[in-house]
Amino acid sequence: MGEVDETHYVHLVATPLSMRVYLEWYREQLTSIWRWVIFIFRGNHMLKNRIAEDLHKVLEGHLSMEEVIKILEIPSNEEYGDLSFPTFTLAPLFRKSPKLIAEDISMKFQSELVSSVEVINGYINFYIDKNMGSTFIMDTVLGEKFGDTSYLEGQSYVMDFSSPNIAKPFSMGHLRATILGDSLSRLLKKNGAAVIGINHMGDWGTQFGKLIVAYSKWGDAQKVEANPIQELFALYTRFHKEADKNPSLNQEARDAFSKLERGDREYLDLWEWFRTVSLEAFQKLYDQLDISFDYIQGESFYNDKLEAASILLEKQNLLEYDDEAYIVRLEHVPPALIKKKDGASLYITRDIAAMLYRTDIFYPDKILYVVGQEQSVHFEQLSQLGELLDLKPEIRHIPFGLILKDGKKMSTRKGEVILLEEIIEDVKKEAMFVIDEKNPELQDKEVVAEKIAVSAIKFHDLKNDRMNSYDFNIEDMLKFDGETAVYVMYTNSRIHSILRKSELDSEAAMTFDDAMWPLLKHMARYEDVLVEAADRYAPSVICRYTLQLCRLFNAYYGKERIIGSGNEHSKLILLEQISKIIKDAMSVLGMEVVDEM
């Protein structure tokens, strides 16, 4: 038969992934619910746990504490109280209507935190005593450990993220993998997990055969030395344009990569040069984005581990020869192509070698791959291979949508790419313009403008559900009144402007008023939000929480006098804690908040 076509195997199995994906999702939900119940039961939740304890005294013998916590909910409408307990599921147990059950429970319920109880149909609505609740919340918020949960304590993760390709500019297409992976690493650590961040850089593969051919035919050493990344990218783009007219170039590229794999010295020297200049350029961007890794282990790192991976598959009787290639058959997805007839390795082969290495060296509970959703089949294959090899870690793909340009996908092959360096500079210039307009006397304007620019870019991405694609728009990301990092920073700047005008009296007692209650209730949810975001691998949950905290503060500030008011001290303490939560939340997202702008 002729040359192996990888797409041949994509159509061999038509069975959809839906059932397996559903079962895995269901298993994850059950695991998450159980972890969540344990987390709350250990006392890490604030008001809900306290009310659940008092409610359990009435229901003891009928429901466990865990069951009470699971049923107790936060009403979507504040008119129905601060917490609500639906009794519909209890009707078979008590052999009464939900309304009668609710009335019986409400008559027996007592709690110093609750000012009143209301029964509507089968719901028991609890209204927290605002003074008692405020004191309880503030005592917790002022505690040293507030904002750090033990939800994932004892869990260890390997986080595979960023993974740009060498000899190509760091495009906006790699932005999501980079900042999402960084934010998730911070988020999991915030919940008590141990996380090892790895940059699995694309530094090996057939694209380097293409680049070697392109450089050999059209390259200019002086141009590459002067501007290495952009020039190499131009050569790569030209190769694809020329190959469209002359398809034989593709075979030349395959032959060149095959020689590279066999250790041709000339080609290895070229490859090492391409890699070195790329790493230097990428590191400047990582420094600018405040992103770091525990290890940079590109695809080439596993060159000497590929054969061991193939041997292990063969020993487990998983490897078979079919259509002049070695494959592993899997369920509901195409077979995994391990090796071509010419001995050339494939993308999945390297990921298997990486999976085995990470399992052996780091022994994690989970290996997370922050890669676009278009790679879902690949990572389903890898997950099944891990199960077939009986490896300990759960292999989990963290997919995400695209960053679009004018509603269209960007392609590095055609040169349709927005360069991250240029974007940061453009956003920084716009931020400088805003600073000059709002606060021309601001100190260190350049430093502040860069922090705003980087945060604006990150927030513009992370506020979106990671599965959704979005259009990159500088004007939108710098709006003072939008869902932006600028809005969050401006709110924090406003808080510190107030704090600078007065001094806190550390001896004075704190008193509360009704206007503080919405803010305090929202502040009390912060640790729950950290847990939810970690459970769903969703930094967008933290973005939404932070935006709402800012909205609540700005509404409060618009109605309440602070400096010179009768309750100035307590209001200043409240503002100080709001700022701390804003800064902490933004730090989890990988952003540094300024106090003046």
Same domain for 117 and 238, yes or no, is: no
Mean pLDDT in runs of 10 for the chain (597 residues)?
Answer: 35 39 47 46 63 95 92 91 95 94 96 96 95 93 91 97 89 86 98 98 91 95 85 92 95 93 93 91 93 96 93 94 90 91 77 97 98 94 97 96 80 60 90 89 92 96 95 89 95 96 77 94 94 96 98 97 92 96 98 93
DSSP-derived secondary structure for 515-558: GGHHHHHHHHTHHHHHHHHHHHT-THHHHHHHHHHHHHHHHHHH
Structural domain contains residue 168:
no
- For residue 418, the model assigns a pLDDT of 66
d(CA 76, CA 82): 9
**C-alpha distance from residue 167 to each of 38, 77, 230, 566 (Å):** 48, 54, 8, 64
Do 107 and 235 lie in a common domain?
no
Burial of 468: CB neighbours in 10 Å, binned 0-12, 13-18, 19+: exposed
CATH number at residue 77: 3.30.1360.70
* Same domain? 548 vs 448: yes
Domain enclosing residue 224, as ranges:
205-262
Is 325 within the bounds of a domain?
A: no
- What pTM did the predictor assign? 0.87
Classify residue 549: in a domain, yes or no: yes
* Domain assignment present for 39: no
Q: What is the CATH number of the domain that holds 439?
A: 1.10.730.10
Q: Is residue 106 domain-shared with residue 219, that is, in the same domain?
A: no
In angstroms, the CA 495 to CA 576 distance is: 8
Among candidate residues 79, 110, 128, the one where a domain is terminated: 128
387 part of a folded domain: no
Say whether both 254 and 109 belong to one domain: no
Residue ranges of alpha helices (H) inside 15-128 are 18-39, 47-59, 65-71, 91-94, 98-108
Instruction: Collapse the DSSP code of 135 into the 3-class scheme (helix H, G, I; strand E, B; otherwise coil) and give the result.
Output: helix
In a domain, 482, yes or no: yes
Helical segments of 414-484, H only: 420-438, 445-462, 474-477
Does 218 share its domain with 121? no
Residue 327 included in any domain: no
Query: What is the spatial distance between Cα 20 and Cα 542, in angstroms, rounded to a whole number?
Result: 30
Beta bridge mates, 125: 84, 118
Q: Six-digit token pair at 264? A: 């041709």
Nearest Cα neighbor of 206 from 288, 265, 261, 139 is 261
- Mark which of 73, 99, 128 sits at the end of a domain: 128
Same-domain status, 570 and 477: yes
Task: State residue 90's pLDDT score.
Answer: 94
Contacts 24+ apart (CB under 8 A), 358-361: 358/158, 358/198, 358/393, 359/391, 359/392, 359/393
Token look-up 């940079």 returns 296
Q: How far apart are CA 113 and CA 52, in angstroms?
A: 11
Which of residues 93, 128, 163 is at a domain's end? Answer: 128
Q: What total of structural domains would you count in the chain?
A: 3
Residue 226 is encoded by which pair of tokens? 């002067």
Residue 105 and residue 217 in one domain: no
Whether 506 is in a domain gets the answer yes
> Is 478 within 8 Å of 539 (Cβ atoms)?
no
Collect all residues with Cβ–Cβ distance below 8 Å to 550 and sequence separation of at least 6.
Answer: 487, 488, 491, 582
Q: Do 235 and 117 share a structural domain? A: no
The answer to whether residues 436 and 583 belong to one domain is yes
Amino acid at 223: K
Q: How far apart are CA 260 and CA 212, in angstroms?
A: 9
